[in-house]
Amino acid sequence: MTAYTFLTVHRTSPDAMAAALADVVGVTAAEVDVSDDSDGHRDWSAAVLCHFTDLDGDLALAWDVYVSADVEPAPPTEAEAARRLAARLGTTVLRPADGVRPSAYRAALPDGTSTRARVLDGGTDGNTRPVLIVDAVGKPVGSLPGARVEPIREAGQDG
Protein backbone atom coordinates (compact mmCIF):
# COMPACT_ATOMS: atom_id res chain seq x y z
CA MET A 1 0.00 0.00 0.00
CA THR A 2 1.09 3.55 -0.76
CA ALA A 3 0.10 6.36 1.61
CA TYR A 4 0.13 10.10 1.01
CA THR A 5 -0.48 13.03 3.35
CA PHE A 6 -1.38 16.38 1.78
CA LEU A 7 -2.52 19.82 2.90
CA THR A 8 -4.15 22.13 0.36
CA VAL A 9 -4.56 25.89 0.39
CA HIS A 10 -7.94 25.84 -1.35
CA ARG A 11 -11.04 23.82 -0.50
CA THR A 12 -11.88 21.38 -3.28
CA SER A 13 -15.10 19.39 -3.72
CA PRO A 14 -14.98 15.64 -3.07
CA ASP A 15 -15.81 14.99 -6.75
CA ALA A 16 -12.88 17.17 -7.88
CA MET A 17 -10.62 15.43 -5.34
CA ALA A 18 -11.65 12.01 -6.68
CA ALA A 19 -11.07 13.04 -10.31
CA ALA A 20 -7.65 14.52 -9.48
CA LEU A 21 -6.55 11.49 -7.46
CA ALA A 22 -7.72 9.19 -10.27
CA ASP A 23 -5.55 11.11 -12.75
CA VAL A 24 -2.55 11.10 -10.41
CA VAL A 25 -2.72 7.40 -9.54
CA GLY A 26 -3.91 6.10 -12.91
CA VAL A 27 -7.32 4.68 -12.03
CA THR A 28 -10.87 5.77 -12.85
CA ALA A 29 -12.75 8.21 -10.62
CA ALA A 30 -15.18 5.38 -9.82
CA GLU A 31 -12.26 3.55 -8.15
CA VAL A 32 -11.62 6.45 -5.74
CA ASP A 33 -13.55 6.87 -2.49
CA VAL A 34 -13.34 10.37 -0.98
CA SER A 35 -15.08 11.14 2.31
CA ASP A 36 -14.94 13.14 5.50
CA ASP A 37 -16.87 10.27 7.15
CA SER A 38 -19.80 12.57 7.93
CA ASP A 39 -22.25 10.31 6.11
CA GLY A 40 -20.79 7.07 7.51
CA HIS A 41 -20.54 5.50 4.05
CA ARG A 42 -17.20 4.27 2.69
CA ASP A 43 -16.29 1.96 -0.16
CA TRP A 44 -13.55 0.10 1.64
CA SER A 45 -12.83 -1.96 -1.50
CA ALA A 46 -11.90 1.14 -3.58
CA ALA A 47 -8.44 1.21 -5.14
CA VAL A 48 -7.88 4.66 -3.60
CA LEU A 49 -9.27 5.77 -0.24
CA CYS A 50 -9.09 9.45 0.72
CA HIS A 51 -10.20 10.84 4.05
CA PHE A 52 -10.26 14.62 4.31
CA THR A 53 -10.56 17.04 7.20
CA ASP A 54 -11.62 20.68 6.97
CA LEU A 55 -9.04 23.11 8.34
CA ASP A 56 -8.97 26.76 9.28
CA GLY A 57 -6.08 29.19 9.08
CA ASP A 58 -3.87 29.29 5.97
CA LEU A 59 -4.84 25.80 4.82
CA ALA A 60 -8.28 24.49 3.85
CA LEU A 61 -8.03 20.68 3.78
CA ALA A 62 -5.93 17.82 5.13
CA TRP A 63 -5.94 14.69 2.95
CA ASP A 64 -4.97 11.18 4.03
CA VAL A 65 -4.74 9.00 0.92
CA TYR A 66 -4.22 5.24 0.72
CA VAL A 67 -3.58 3.47 -2.59
CA SER A 68 -4.07 -0.28 -2.81
CA ALA A 69 -1.00 -2.40 -3.48
CA ASP A 70 -2.97 -3.89 -6.39
CA VAL A 71 -2.84 -0.65 -8.42
CA GLU A 72 -0.66 -1.06 -11.52
CA PRO A 73 1.53 0.56 -12.56
CA ALA A 74 2.84 1.58 -9.16
CA PRO A 75 1.59 4.99 -8.04
CA PRO A 76 3.98 7.97 -8.11
CA THR A 77 6.07 9.10 -5.17
CA GLU A 78 4.45 11.49 -2.71
CA ALA A 79 6.48 14.39 -4.17
CA GLU A 80 5.33 13.61 -7.71
CA ALA A 81 1.73 13.07 -6.62
CA ALA A 82 1.74 16.49 -4.86
CA ARG A 83 3.16 18.15 -7.99
CA ARG A 84 0.50 16.56 -10.19
CA LEU A 85 -2.31 17.46 -7.78
CA ALA A 86 -1.14 21.08 -7.60
CA ALA A 87 -1.17 21.36 -11.38
CA ARG A 88 -4.49 19.54 -11.78
CA LEU A 89 -6.32 21.45 -9.04
CA GLY A 90 -4.61 24.84 -9.48
CA THR A 91 -3.75 25.07 -5.79
CA THR A 92 -0.69 24.81 -3.58
CA VAL A 93 -0.29 21.29 -2.16
CA LEU A 94 1.91 20.67 0.87
CA ARG A 95 3.39 17.34 1.88
CA PRO A 96 5.56 16.47 4.87
CA ALA A 97 9.27 16.91 4.21
CA ASP A 98 11.76 14.20 5.01
CA GLY A 99 13.34 14.52 8.43
CA VAL A 100 12.31 14.79 12.03
CA ARG A 101 10.80 18.27 12.22
CA PRO A 102 7.01 17.98 12.29
CA SER A 103 6.68 21.55 10.99
CA ALA A 104 8.76 20.87 7.86
CA TYR A 105 6.82 20.63 4.60
CA ARG A 106 7.43 20.87 0.87
CA ALA A 107 4.96 23.01 -1.08
CA ALA A 108 4.17 22.03 -4.68
CA LEU A 109 2.89 25.02 -6.65
CA PRO A 110 0.51 24.89 -9.63
CA ASP A 111 3.28 26.15 -11.95
CA GLY A 112 5.33 22.99 -11.30
CA THR A 113 7.85 24.54 -8.92
CA SER A 114 8.24 23.75 -5.23
CA THR A 115 9.62 25.31 -2.08
CA ARG A 116 10.08 24.50 1.57
CA ALA A 117 7.39 25.56 4.03
CA ARG A 118 7.04 25.68 7.80
CA VAL A 119 3.57 24.83 9.13
CA LEU A 120 2.60 25.60 12.72
CA ASP A 121 -0.32 24.30 14.75
CA GLY A 122 -2.61 27.21 15.60
CA GLY A 123 -4.86 25.17 17.90
CA THR A 124 -8.55 24.99 17.06
CA ASP A 125 -11.20 27.55 16.26
CA GLY A 126 -14.59 27.74 18.00
CA ASN A 127 -15.86 24.84 15.86
CA THR A 128 -12.91 22.60 16.88
CA ARG A 129 -11.44 22.60 13.37
CA PRO A 130 -7.66 22.38 13.40
CA VAL A 131 -6.00 25.71 12.59
CA LEU A 132 -2.77 25.44 10.60
CA ILE A 133 -0.60 28.47 9.89
CA VAL A 134 2.07 28.56 7.18
CA ASP A 135 4.66 30.57 9.09
CA ALA A 136 7.38 30.73 6.44
CA VAL A 137 8.19 29.66 2.89
CA GLY A 138 11.49 29.46 1.04
CA LYS A 139 10.25 31.67 -1.82
CA PRO A 140 7.16 33.83 -2.34
CA VAL A 141 3.94 31.84 -2.75
CA GLY A 142 1.04 33.93 -4.03
CA SER A 143 -1.60 31.78 -2.33
CA LEU A 144 0.17 32.21 1.03
CA PRO A 145 0.62 36.00 1.28
CA GLY A 146 0.96 35.98 5.08
CA ALA A 147 3.94 33.63 5.14
CA ARG A 148 7.38 35.13 5.72
CA VAL A 149 9.90 34.45 2.97
CA GLU A 150 13.13 33.18 4.50
CA PRO A 151 15.62 30.36 4.15
CA ILE A 152 14.30 27.23 5.82
CA ARG A 153 17.02 24.87 6.91
CA GLU A 154 17.00 21.22 5.96
CA ALA A 155 16.63 18.78 8.85
CA GLY A 156 19.98 18.13 10.43
CA GLN A 157 21.56 21.46 9.52
CA ASP A 158 23.15 23.33 12.41
CA GLY A 159 22.07 26.60 13.75
For residue 154, the model assigns a pLDDT of 67
In a domain, 157, yes or no: no
Element spanning 25, H or E: helix 14-25
For residue 102, the model assigns a pLDDT of 78
Residues whose CB is less than 8 angstroms from the CB of residue 109 and which lie 6 or more positions away in sequence, other chains included: 86, 92, 115, 141
CA dihedral 27→29→34→40, nearest 10 degrees, is: -110
In a domain, 159, yes or no: no
In a domain, 155, yes or no: no
| 90: containing domain | 2-39+46-149
In a domain, 158, yes or no: no
| pLDDT higher than threshold 50 for residue 159 | no
Question: Whats the size of the chain, residue-wise?
Answer: 159
Element spanning 119, H or E: strand 114-124
In a domain, 156, yes or no: no
Entry pTM: 0.92
For residue 94, the model assigns a pLDDT of 98
Q: Could you report the per-residue pLDDT of 127-153, keeping only the tens digit for each? A: 678 999 999 999 999 999 999 999 987
Number of domains composing the chain: 1
Instruction: Give the pLDDT band (50/70/90) at residue 125.
Output: low
CB contact at 8 A, 64 and 51: yes
Q: Could you report the per-residue pLDDT of 41-53, keeping only the tens digit for each? A: 889 999 999 999 9
Which residue type is seen at 151?
Answer: P
Other beta carbons less than 10 A from residue 7's beta carbon = 24
CB contact at 8 A, 40 and 105: no
In a domain, 95, yes or no: yes
Instruction: Give the pLDDT band (50/70/90) at residue 98.
Output: confident
Q: Could you report the per-residue pLDDT of 49-77, keeping only the tens digit for each? A: 999 999 999 999 999 999 999 999 999 99
In a domain, 90, yes or no: yes
